[in-house]
Amino acid sequence: MDIIVIGAVAGGATVSSQLRRFLPDARITVIGKDSRMGFATCGMPYVLGGLVDSMDSLVSVTPEQFWDKKSIDVRLRHEALEIDRRSRSVLVRNIVTGETETLHYDKLVLSPGGSARNPEIPGSPSIPIFTLRHFGDMVNFEDYLESEKPRRGLVIGGGFIGVELAENFRSLGIITDLIEHNGRIMPIADPDMSGLLEEEMEKNGVTLHLGKEVCSVDSGTVSLDDGTEIEVDFIAAAVGLEPNTRLAEEAGLGIGPTGGIETDPFMRTSDPDIYAIGDAAEGRDWFTGKPKRVPLAWAAHRQAFIAAGHIAGGTTEMDGLLGTSITKLFSLTAGMTGLSEKMLDEENMRYETIVHESRSNAGYYPDNGKLRLKIHYDPDTRAILGAQAVGEKGADKRIDIIATAIRGRLTMDDLAAIEIAYSPAYSSPKDPVNMAGYKSMDRPGQ
């Protein structure tokens, strides 16, 4: 069997490796536009901030290793130009030499990822504007920071990448402003949880401009729509990504309402011989079953396993996405899983909410921190619909427990009954997860 994988980062590297495990005799070819494969895109902000010493440490594997250990042919700096579904072939171009080649496939896996959105910046900026998506983006950005040693920087976008970049710029001593056109940072979270993160950013010297837009850039002066002017040496744009669906669209594959490539529970596209995974693939929401696209690493790796397994004859399905996520922001950690207030309201779903504020572990133990845990649940079935946690310690543990509880279809009453490991260094006799369950009960045995 001839299998071609388009894309060589998280999804592409993982699916090809899984395919080799399931199909030892298949001929597998991976096509990647970047200069590296399998690199950890999530680690890029921490390379720029110096927390990760070397950008090469983000690269987990090389094409030579893939060939030597797995007999997988990885072709970097190559681009898939066209898919011919009738002849089951892909036209591939060597970006370095310009030479083209037509490769045959029996099964094709699309893992093209996404491209960073470039914000519309009116005016005549004469300062560098960076995005952070590909390995080369990080190389260019790090070279600039090391050679120019800028004094002031502007981040456009207050999502995951934006807030992480702001933190890392501050660690370099760069005076940092952040603009978010929504009225708050991390708009995926509930407003009260975003507010905690805003306080943390301001406390650490990040100047926030919320609900604002860039009006113009003249040389190094950025003017906002409220009249504010900011002097900056560079701009880091983190305004989201666009799924790379050109190949799929030109091949006539279905594109869903989220802008991603339509897939079934086995990650097959509208062509049963073509699969799609990762940032460009559209899945389904765990609760509603509606189309949902989660451009995060966990989803890509899980989808890779599902697709590879199905190509090999397996029947495991991708049964829904919770969108579980987490980020570090100075002294705080913020995590979430499932549906937020906004999502629940948009779906017209009835819900009630429990908020529990406590220490992460025993208050008398020296190493403890503040923790705010918020859980939405169905008042009739008491099913858990979503949770968020922000704290100095332990937010990750609680979100992971609740994500597991949702997949296990546990209720708020079950949260009270989970026997969570206790020691003063790690928890409390009644963990915050337990306490949230207890607080949701009107009476014993509810």
- Return d(Cα 346, Cα 352) in angstroms, integer: 15
Find the helix packing angle between 297-311 and 10-22, rounded to 10°.
30
Q: Buried b / exposed e across 162-173, counting CB within 10 Å, b at 16+? A: bbbbbbbbbeee
Enumerate residues 6+ apart whose C-beta is below 8 A from 217. Answer: 121, 122, 123, 124, 125, 127, 223, 235
Q: Which of 9, 1, 90, 2 is nearest to 304 (CA)?
A: 9
Let me know if 42 is a catalytic residue: yes
Amino acid at 267: M
- CB-CB contact of 6 with 109 (8 Å): yes
DSSP, collapsed to helix, strand or coil, labels residue 347 as: coil
Reading the block at residue 150, the tokens are: 């800028």
Could you count the other beta carbons within 10 Å of the beta carbon of residue 106?
A: 13
Cα distances (angstroms) measured from residue 44 to each of 132, 138, 301: 8, 7, 19
- Out of 40, 42, 172, 210, the active site residue is 42
Half-sphere exposure of 76 (CA within 13 A, CB side): 17
Q: What is the dihedral of CA 209, 210, 215, 220, to 10 degrees?
A: 20
- Max CA separation in the chain (angstroms): 73
Strands 281-284 and 332-338: unpaired
- CB-CB contact of 331 with 319 (8 Å): no
- Return d(Cα 151, Cα 252) in angstroms, integer: 49
User: Helices then strands (H, E): number in the chain?
Assistant: 12, 27
Outline where DSSP puts E strands in 114-174: 114-116, 123-125, 129-130, 152-156
- Return d(Cα 286, Cα 323) in angstroms, integer: 9
Active site residues: 42
